[in-house]
A and B are shown apart, each in its own frame.
Chain A
């Protein structure tokens, strides 16, 4: 009997063991291969079938981590053995997946979203200790899930505003479009969607970012050492990746808020092969502008929309084509007969190929167009003023992996730029007393070749070095002025003109931009990194305001306007605590900027054929220290960041009338020394979470008048030295609640988001200006864009 029992137990044991053996999937056809077994796979959402990009694949036995690409794909090279694979993704349940690798094969993983599980909410950016191990410096990847946890702006997840909560990234003010990264101007950031540059990423004069969060997979901002494959802008690259549709089933989403609504649909055109995703967002702000009491707003009108389309076709296991289209449109008439409108259109086609486990390549082409217009319909001298940019190019690179930790990337790119800086067209049909006028078009070509080598020496050292050689040419047809020597450039000092023919070269600039970074790891959870980076920029935003406006002019480098050259050196220390629950970093940087643009007093930029007469070259420098603490796990997650930085300018020319502030260094428009952000997200229950954001920064520099004087009945201010005073400090608290109402059925099961921006109604001044009206003492007035608490509500469902 005893024996029998033992046998029974053994059997049970055997059975149990056998069962675990069944769960361990055998991968590959066993042909006796021992090493270099290639396992590729793809991770998708079990419900929607969407690819999960940026998910982590861990092989604990080998202590390696891989991140899935935009299509959720990953690749592992393993020896013949048993492994306990782990798949993790933000907001999804972790999947344990034991395998026995015996030959080349494929795994398909389906992950399921965890709906606010109380105990173990994992909010990893992507790879939990990527910040420590990678040699990348200052590359910040923000997942859409992280952005969704921030209080939304007018009911919408706003990519640019979300990024401005990170250290070293700021915005000029509450209605300012564009980012200022480590003391650089808004035009020093290359914002690209699916690889195509976007020139005006805003709606409603900068109140909204014009990217629909539902069409975006992830966002990466490179702010210190920029990979060599990127070039052409001085401060940063903001790479926005589109989200591919599901290859498994059709689905969609719908959102309405009190300002705008959006709808999206995605699914397989060819099941398991070709997917499509389309999205559209539009505003319905007009009807309520009309209900406002402020007469200026009452008589205003605004429209905007944006749309996306992504078609993704993995034509074979290792070859994938992705086509992406993006469009946005805006028009705005601010209490007048003048309408301002702008639109972006961009197409890109990408081909990714993995040739074998060592070599892969990526080729992409894009076409992007940005048009902006001002329409005057006042009844006198009606006109259209049209401007635009056409930009198309191709990029290609391939990589070769000597080993998993030794990789070389080589590539090149070419782009063609056509700028139409302004064309004035008198309205047809109406008798118009103005002449058609056209500023000369500009033609430029930018190309670059680059290589980068990343490798690790043992556990402790990692290194990446590379360089990019930029070549730029400025071409005719164009009439170029020459000016008298030793005199400031002005209409009065022009002496002759040279006519350049179609396609003839007017000016070229070339430059070598080395990049490099070095990592030393003290342990698995702490490291120190050093980086250096040189960037060239050949296109400039000539703006007379502190932000990106539709009245701005883009200008290519020519024989007078030299390329901006940015040198940056940075040093960082990174430490994670308690199993990556806490992530901390300290980074310091110093930046030197050559040929940044400043303006002569009262510069006239519109319809200006000779912009060189209105501009002066300046030197710039920026430096700062950035502190960052992030809590990744638990009911309470969030981060705190503090930046101390300066961004300075200096204008010295041989001509006294052009010198600004006596040639001394002065604060740039976006110099905000102290900048602090605190963000928290707290899960109250399975269905409810709250989040809050607090931001504080030093007020931006402004120019106060030194005196007031009277001229022909006008009380005027005399300004002398620029940017010597500051606006009052900026601080603001935003708050939001996200909840689901218990209920069943597709249309009741959505997410409600209620948010209040500027909870305590701080009147943060965007500007101070001086008004001196008769009958009242002269005084300073402030304009606050968000002067009151601003609530919004939105409801979204997925189907």
Chain B
């Protein structure tokens, strides 16, 4: 008994705690926010326009798209590309299918809203980017409070030869991933209803192996500048894919993109990263005003959030074999025909080549 109390006495301290707290924040203006990256990889590239919102406002942080704007991208040779708004996803403006930024050119984004206000970005220069030589993987475990099982996932580590003669700023992102999805149609149990009151499994004939394609969720911002490895062959953490109990059952394929961004864009993304990692701890940096590269041509005082990035881009594909990982989450059982799952297909992608 005494021991127990003694133990309690020792446990209680250092119980720093984090809990919700209600504050009143004044309703602010709704600021135009610009988000978009154009790269040297040909394809339909997009710019997204939204309005900021206030914390704790009536709409609880509903970010509203800005529609019907005229959006153009102009390069330093005067070439103009018009973007057209997506009919479904409002506020997102696309280039044509085969648009690609050119290395060494600089680009500006120009926007005219329906109220006639005109905005422009500062010119963004497209810098060359070295290729990814190799991608290594490493299992990372993350302890979770109150859970016995740790979260885990696969960290992608890019290997590259940094060019010695230039100052490089790198940004990595992952594109769509495809993995082999295994399900258990034999355990299919529909919800009991009047017409089908049974609670027993009603096995389906097909199918238990599919290929599911999805966009990986946001799992951190991966950035680096070459100050500490200029001219070296180096390895840098470049991405993270969380193990949800399904992705690494067999094989997962993903494309890692390596972008060469400008110094200013790097600074912007570094602040975004810094803010997204704030924990309220004693050692947090004070909040910083994240300034973008857009200005209003009508009112220089107007604050425009976000950043227009133009970058050189290379990508590398990797197939990750689940059985080669030294730790995996327990397999999640999906009791259905795998074709019923969103984004999955019974046939492998045409270029599936593990």
A contact set with B: CB distance below 8 Å: 154, 173, 175-176, 205-206, 258-259, 288-289, 291-299, 335, 379-381, 424, 433-435, 437, 491, 544-547, 549, 551, 599, 601-602, 604, 607, 657, 669, 703-720, 722, 725, 728, 763, 765-770, 772, 777-793
Contacts and interface: CB of A to CB of B under 8 A. Distances in A.
B276 interface: yes
A784 B9 CA distance: 19
B22 interface: yes
Given A707-B54, A710-B33, A712-B35, A777 B60 contact: yes
B118 interface: no
Given A711-B33, A780-B55, A175 B282 contact: yes
Given A707-B54, A716-B290, A433 B234 contact: yes
Contacts of B342: none
A718 B233 CA distance: 37
B23 A787 contact: no
A763 B18 CA distance: 9
A710 B50 contact: yes
10 contacts: A292-B11, A434-B229, A706-B28, A708-B52, A710-B50, A712-B37, A714-B218, A780-B55, A781-B20, A782-B280
Contact of B157 (A293, A380, A769, A778): A380
B287 A717 contact: yes
Contacts of A297: 14
Nearest to A426: B228
B305 A709 contact: yes
A782 B19 contact: yes
B1 interface: no
Given A434-B234, A783-B16, A717 B286 contact: no
Interface string B286-319: 1111110000000000010111000000000000
B25 A437 contact: no
B289 A601 contact: yes
A543 B1 CA distance: 47
Given A707-B54, A710-B50, A789 B12 contact: yes
A790 B35 contact: no
Contacts of A770: 55
Contact of B232 (A175, A433, A769): A433
A772 B62 CA distance: 11
Contact of B306 (A296, A433, A437, A709): A709
B283 A718 contact: no
Contact of B18 (A175, A292, A434, A781): A781
Given A545-B284, A708-B53, A785-B282, A765 B21 contact: yes
A601 B291 CA distance: 9
B90 interface: no
Contacts of A713: 217-218
Given A433-B159, A601-B288, A604-B270, 14 more contacts: A293-B145, A380-B237, A437-B228, A708-B61, A709-B53, A713-B218, A766-B282, A778-B56, A778-B61, A779-B20, A779-B22, A783-B16, A784-B19, A785-B16
A711 B279 contact: no
- What is the interface of chain B mostly: helix, strand, loop, or mixed? loop
A288 B11 contact: yes
A707 B235 contact: no
Given A424-B228, A545-B285, A770-B55, A705 B25 contact: yes
Contacts of B14: 289, 292, 297
B144 interface: yes
Interface of B: 7, 9-23, 25-26, 28-31, 33, 35, 37, 50, 52-56, 60-61, 63, 138, 143-146, 150, 157, 159, 217-218, 221, 227-237, 263, 267, 270-272, 274-276, 278-291, 303, 305-307
Contacts of A259: 13
Nearest to B37: A712
A709 B63 contact: yes
A717 B55 contact: yes
B272 A711 contact: yes
Contact of A763 (B17, B61, B143): B17
B232 A549 contact: no
B181 to A, nearest CB: 23
B25 A173 contact: no
A437 B7 CA distance: 46
B50 A709 contact: yes
A783 B305 CA distance: 28
Given A175-B282, A790-B13, A715 B61 contact: yes
Contacts of B270: 602, 604
A719 B18 CA distance: 22
A176 B213 CA distance: 49
Contact of B282 (A291, A549, A716): A549
B60 A435 contact: no
A708 B303 contact: no
A544 B60 CA distance: 31
A765 B146 CA distance: 23
Nearest to B143: A295
Contacts of A725: 23
Contacts of B282: 173, 175-176, 205-206, 545-547, 549, 766-767, 785
Nearest to A491: B263
Nearest to B287: A719
Contact of A381 (B143, B235, B281, B291): B235
A298 B54 contact: no
Contact of B52 (A381, A434, A669, A709): A709
A602 B278 CA distance: 13
Given A296-B143, A781-B20, A708 B55 contact: yes
B61 A777 contact: yes
Considering the complex of A and B, which 6 residue pairs feature the smallest CB-CB distances, nearest first? Answer: A433-B234, A295-B143, A602-B288, A713-B218, A783-B280, A787-B17
Contacts of B11: 288, 291-292
A295 B145 contact: yes
A4 B285 CA distance: 95
A719 B234 contact: no
Nearest to B17: A787
Contact of A769 (B7, B54, B237, B279): B279
Contacts of A783: 16-18, 279-281
Contacts of B271: 601-602
A154 B13 CA distance: 9
Contacts of A718: 28, 31, 52, 289-290, 303, 305
B234 A381 contact: yes
A703 B55 contact: no
A435 B164 CA distance: 12
Contacts of B61: 708, 715, 772, 777-778
Contact of A788 (B17, B22, B52, B280): B17
B49 to A, nearest CB: 11
